[in-house]
Amino acid sequence: MVTLNPYLNFRDNAKEAMEFYHSVFGGELTSSTFAEFGASEDPADADKIMHSQLEADGGLVLMGADTPSSMPDPGNGGPISVSLSGTADDDATLRGYWQKLVDSGSEIVPLEVAPWGDAFGMCTDRYGITWLVNISAAGA
C-alpha cells in the first residue's frame, strides 16, 4: 500500500505548529529533534524539529519539520495547499476542522455551498498554510 502525506516545512516553529494541528485534528503526535538524531551541525538547530508526525482518525496523517539554518527558508504561500474532503456524513467533523483552522487564520473563500453543489471553503491558517475543505453534497 502506498500512501501520500502532506509534509509541511517551517523555519523554526514546527513544534508549535504541529501542536496546533494536534489540537485541530486530535490523534497521536510524535516529534524528534535534530539533537536526538545527532543531525545538528549548528547548535542553534539542536532543539528544532527534525521530524514530526500526526496520525489522526480516518487515516489522516500530517508530517512536519523545521528547516535547518544551513538550508534556505521554506517560505509561505507557495503552490502547495492541503485539501480535506469528505461526504455529508463527515460534515460536522470537517466543519469543526475548518473552524479551528480559520479561527486564528484568515478566510479566503467562505465554507458554503459552491456552484458544483458541495460545501467548499478555503482558508490560510496562522502558519501560512492554505487549507481547502470540500464536503460532498448529500446523495452525491
Whole-number pLDDT of residue 73: 73
Q: Count Cβ neighbours within 10 Å for each residue of 73-104 and write b for 16 or more, e otherwise.
A: eeeeeeeeeeebebeeebeeebeebbebbbee
Whole-number pLDDT of residue 70: 79
Residue 22 has pLDDT above 90, yes or no: yes
Q: Which of 27-41, 62-76, 90-104 has the lowest mean pLDDT?
A: 62-76
pLDDT digits (tens, 9 = 90+) for 34-74: 998 887 778 888 999 999 999 998 889 999 999 888 777 77
**CA 66 – CA 80 distance, rounded (Å):** 17
Give me the domains of the chain, ranges plus CATH numbers: 7-66 (3.10.180.10), 81-135 (3.10.180.10)
Whole-number pLDDT of residue 16: 97
Q: Are 127 and 102 in contact (CB under 8 A)?
A: no
Handedness of CA 64, 68, 106, 103 (dihedral sign): positive
Residue 106 has pLDDT above 90, yes or no: yes
pTM assigned to the model:
0.86
**CA 77 – CA 75 distance, rounded (Å):** 7
